[in-house]
Amino acid sequence: MPSTVIGYARTSTLDQTYGLDAQLRDLTAAGCEKIFQEQVSSVDKSRPELERALDYVREGDVFVVTKLDRLARSMADLVRLRDALQSKGVTLKVLALGIDTSTPTGKLMMNLLGSIAEFERDIMLERQREGIAKAKEEGKYKGRAPTAQRKADEVRRLKAEGRTVEQIVVDLGISRSSVFRVLRSE
C-alpha cells in the first residue's frame, strides 16, 4: 500500500489566520494529501484534530508539521507524540528544521531540538516569575481581581431581584461557590 503524506497545522488563536494560511501553504507544497487543522492554544488539554490525525495515520505514512511548536507543548508531549507515530510505523517530518525521523540523524535532531525548546520555555517562565516577584516587591503588581469579586454588586442585585443561584451562575458566568461566597460576605 502506498504511503500517504499527512499534514497538521495549528495556531493558538482564531485571529492568527495568516499563520494558519502560511502553514497550510507550506504543508500543501510539501505534498500533503490530507491536512488536519485547528486553532487551539497549546495549553488546552484537548486538540481534537491532532487526535484525529494520529488516529488516521497508518504504517508507512509520513506525518508533516511546519514547526515543532505547532505539534508539541513540551519535551514530554513531543516524546509521547513521537512514540505514538513510531509505534504505528509513521515517519515525522518538521519542515522548518529539515528533520525526518526516518533517519538516525533525524531522530537525534528531534530529541535535541525538543530538549532545547523545553529549556527555552522554562527559562522564559523563570524570567516571567522573577519579573512578577520584582513588580510585587515594588508594589506595581496587584494581579488580576477575582472575577466573582468584580461582579459582586451584580450578584447581589440579581439575588435581590429573586434570581436563583443557578440563574446567577449562568447569567454572570461564574461558579456556584463564587456566588455563595459573595452572598455570605453581605
Strands 5-11 and 34-39, bridge-based pairing:
parallel
Q: Rounded to an integer, what distance in angstroms lies between the CA atom of residue 115 and that of residue 25?
A: 28
Q: Rounded to an integer, what distance in angstroms lies between the CA atom of residue 28 and that of residue 35?
A: 8
If we measure between CA atoms, which residue out of 66, 69, 72, 67 comes closest to residue 24?
66
Give ∠ CA 74-107-30 in degrees, rounded to 5. 85
Q: Rounded to an integer, what distance in angstroms lies between the CA atom of residue 140 and that of residue 167?
A: 37
| Residue 102 annotated as catalytic | no
Q: Are 184 and 149 in contact (CB under 8 A)?
A: no
Strands 62-65 and 34-39, bridge-based pairing:
unpaired
If we measure between CA atoms, which residue out of 62, 141, 49, 47 comes closest to residue 101?
62
Spot the catalytic one: 3, 12, 42, 74: 12
Residue 92's DSSP bridge partners are: 63
**Longest Cα separation, the chain:** 71
State the catalytic residues. Answer: 12
